[in-house]
């Protein structure tokens, strides 16, 4: 596990095995909002079919979007409690944090699945514990904490458990009604 720039996890063709489609905006929240609007308004995909997948820095825009708009579910892979908390061991919110996930995750109404490497030294596993503890009780799905996995190799170290965990989460989603935000609440959260 070495620090530095590394590619996102190579999910390769796993999305085909998982029976899902991928739309991967590469940058921040504005791009994800535009992608969400394209999926729902242009392509007619119902929000109840959209699962956000936020890996590392992408967890910030995913939590932000899910706290403001209805989606079917959220997967947070190697997510952080907040950007500032990655750089220090602060346990309190600070002004100016671009992605205070731990402060926003309680506003997320849909199910949340957290996947994290226990040996992640970039975003230590305590971030996953803090995020899981901050979820609404009805939104929390049991996290997948992978022993001997770091920040960039969770799916490789976990092997079939990674895909099996995701499939179980999808099955769990199918077995429960979608959490619906009221129209007024959606409008309020957009601002």
Strands 112-117 and 144-146 come out as parallel
Active site residue 164: no
Which entry of 64, 77, 127, 151 is annotated as an active-site residue? 151
In 71-157, the DSSP E strands lie at 73-77, 112-117, 144-146
129 belongs to the catalytic site: no
Q: Which of 59, 62, 82, 120 is catalytic?
A: 120
Q: Which of 56, 59, 82, 139 is catalytic?
A: 56
Annotation says 56 is catalytic: yes
The sheet with strand 144-146 has its strands ordered as 51-55, 73-77, 112-117, 144-146
Which sequence positions are flagged as catalytic? 56, 120, 151
């Amino acid at each position: 596990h070495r620090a530095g720039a590394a590619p996102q996890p190579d999910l390769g063709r796993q999305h085909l095995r998982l029976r899902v489609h991928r739309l991967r905006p590469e940058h921040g929240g504005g791009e994800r909002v535009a992608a969400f609007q394209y999926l729902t308004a242009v392509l007619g995909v119902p929000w109840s079919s959209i699962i956000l997948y936020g890996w590392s820095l992408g967890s910030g825009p995913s939590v932000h979007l899910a706290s403001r708009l209805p989606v079917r579910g959220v997967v947070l892979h190697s997510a952080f409690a907040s950007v500032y908390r990655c750089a220090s061991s602060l346990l309190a919110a600070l002004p100016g944090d671009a992605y205070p996930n731990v402060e926003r995750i309680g506003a997320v109404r849909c199910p949340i699945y957290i996947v994290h490497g226990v040996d992640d030294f970039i975003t230590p596993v305590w971030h996953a514990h803090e995020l899981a503890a901050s979820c609404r009780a009805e939104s929390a799905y049991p996290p997948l904490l992978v022993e001997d996995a770091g920040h960039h190799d969770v799916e490789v170290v976990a092997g079939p458990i990674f895909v099996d965990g995701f499939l179980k989460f999808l099955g769990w989603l199918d077995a429960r009604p979608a959490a619906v935000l009221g129209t007024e609440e959606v409008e309020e959260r957009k601002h």
